[in-house]
Structure formats: structure tokens, C-alpha cells
Amino acid sequence: MALRYDAGEVLTAMVTPMNANREIDYNKAENLAKYLINNGTEALVVAGTTGESPTLTHEEELELLSTVKRAAANKAKVILGTGSNSTETAVKMTKLAKKEDVDAVLSVVPYYNKPSQRGMIEHFSAVAEASDLPVILYNIPSRTGVNMLPETAAMLAKKYPNIVALKQSSPDMDMISELKLKCPADFAIYSGDDSLTLPMLSLGAHGVISVASHIFGKELKSMIRNFKTGEVMASKNMHKTLFPVFKKLFMAPNPVPVKAALAHLNLIEDYVRRPLVELDEIEKTGLFKVLDDVKEELDG
């Protein structure tokens, strides 16, 4: 069955490049977006957590969106992170995204205030009713402090045709099975953790909203394609090759390691906004060794 909305199989939760003053470097953002599109990314998620959304102003988010849309030039979808722990703000940003003509929005479970399941239903109902844009729900209990249950996601997916997918960042594979059993067949599940992509594919997930795709986008695309076309051993081997990278990119709070990795490739400068801090030299040495070893293995 066709999906109600197909954003692609490899979506990149894009970092926000910054300069030494920790101001957004829009030129590097444009160049990075083009690089990602040329290296396996089918959709760019702008102003998500990997993009340091907690420290971006709404004005910066809109300028960043405009920059990435220009770079994408209809070669990839552009998805805006419009989630908030305030329903009013999430609705306002979703309406704004509609005016800015984005392809879809990513809306996270409200964080810190820990709503009940009924509160989540009311929150996401308001978001879905704010526009006809495709809405991708985002469940990440480790950051929000609360878990959206499969029943809640299923209820929302059944009620609102424009709630089209879920980004699931949780190692609980039983939840993926429950989601596939309870949600409509045309509702897409995306892995929110690179290391869980292959296990989730085996349970019916469609793809990944990825951090590692900044560095290994083509390889991730190959891993997913091979799995879906029955080349399971090739897919498993790629997962095993990339696994050390998946783990190292979360050796410190995201997006600190991936920004260091991109700077190692001379694609951006290595700066994050406080309260995040850059890796120290020992941490960088360990990260770069893993990156270089994996690249060598892939090239070999």
C-alpha cells in the first residue's frame, strides 16, 4: 500500500552551521544542504533539535528555512521543526510553515511539562487542525520526559489524514510492533536513532530521520534499499560497518559530535551555542579515528 505521504527513506536532521561568534553561517548552511542532497538525503529537517532549535530565534529559523529551500531547489523535500511545549506556539509555527510553503512539519511531544496521553491528543489535534500540511509526530522520551503510547499515535493517525508519520526515538522494539499493528497501513514509521534503523526496518519502518547521514548518507540509503529488496546480508553488513559511527556521534549531546565530524571534513566550522560545548581534543581524536577507520573500510 502507498504511504499517505512519502518524505523519502533518508531524511537528515540538519545541523545549523555557525561561526566563531556563534552566529548562523547561512552560506555554509546553503552549501551543506546542497552537499547532503548530493549524498543520499531525500528530505532536510530544518530547525529540529539537531539544528539547535532550543537556541534559535524564530527569525533565525525562518531565514534558515529560506536558505535551505533555496539550496534544495525542489531536489529534496524541506521539513520544518515546529514543535513546542506550548500548544499555542506549535500551532502558530505550523501556520507559519504553511505560509512559507514547506513540504511538511515535524512536531515533537511537548517537553518538560510532561502532558498526559489525553493532553498529547489535544496538543497534536490542534497542530493537525492548524493547516493541511503533512505532520510528522516525534516521540523521544529521553528528551521530553514522557512517552507517547502507540494507542495515542494510532488514534491521531486515524482521526487526521494529515498526520502522516512518526519519528520514534526509543530502543523499545515492542513499541514498533504495536505501532505497526495499531496505526493505519499507510502511516509511516521512521527511526529516530541511526543505530536502530535496521532493527526497525525489520518490523516495518519506512526509513530514518538521521544524524549519521551528514557523513554517510549514501551508505545509509544503500542499507535501507538493500534491506527492502531482499539483500538482507548486505544491509546487515553495512549496519555493522557503520555501527561504531552511530555510537560515536552520540558520545556527547547531539549535535556536538556531528558538528565536529563535519568540521573534520571541512564542510562547516566547529561551533555550537551554549549551553552546549564543543568536544575537547581527546574526544575529537577518538571520534576522528572512528570516522577515518570506517571510511577506510568502506573504501577498501
State mean pLDDT over 47-68: 96
Alpha-carbon radius of gyration of the chain: 18
By C-alpha distance, which of 239, 250, 249, 225 is closest to 298?
Answer: 239
By C-alpha distance, which of 199, 126, 145, 200 is closest to 167?
Answer: 200
Cell of 224: 535501507
State mean pLDDT over 236-241: 98
Q: Is 121 helix (H, G, I), strand (E, B) or coil?
A: helix
Cell of 55: 537556541
> What pLDDT score does 151 carry?
98
Mean pLDDT of the chain: 97
Q: What is the pLDDT of residues 170-216, one digit of tens each?
A: 999 999 999 999 999 999 999 999 999 999 999 999 999 999 999 99
Cα–Cα distance measured from residue 60 to residue 64, given in angstroms and rounded to the nearest whole number: 6
Q: How confident is the model at residue 300 (pLDDT cuts 50, 70, 90)?
A: confident
State mean pLDDT over 61-82: 97
127: Cβ–Cβ under 8 A, 6 or more apart, which residues?
82, 87, 90, 91, 94, 105, 107, 135
Q: What is the pLDDT of residues 219-230, one digit of tens each?
A: 999 999 999 999
pTM for the model stands at 0.97
> 140: number of CA atoms within 13 Å, CB side?
22
Categorise residue 193: left if φ over 0, alpha if ψ from -120 to 50, beta otherwise: beta
Cα–Cα distance measured from residue 230 to residue 236, given in angstroms and rounded to the nearest whole number: 11
pLDDT at position 1 over 80: no
Q: What is the pLDDT of residues 110-137, one digit of tens each?
A: 999 999 999 999 999 999 999 999 999 9
Cα–Cα distance measured from residue 15 to residue 44, given in angstroms and rounded to the nearest whole number: 10
Cα–Cα distance measured from residue 2 to residue 104, given in angstroms and rounded to the nearest whole number: 18
The residue to which cell 505532520 is assigned: 135
Cα–Cα distance measured from residue 212 to residue 236, given in angstroms and rounded to the nearest whole number: 16
| CATH topology for the 10-231 domain | TIM Barrel (3.20.20)
> What pLDDT score does 41 carry?
98
pLDDT at position 247 over 80: yes
Question: What are the sequence ranges of the domains in the chain?
Answer: 10-231
Report, as residue numbers or ranges, the catalytic residues: 138, 167
Work out the angle at residue 255's Cα, subtended by the Cα atoms of residues 270 and 219, and round it to the nearest 5 degrees. Answer: 95
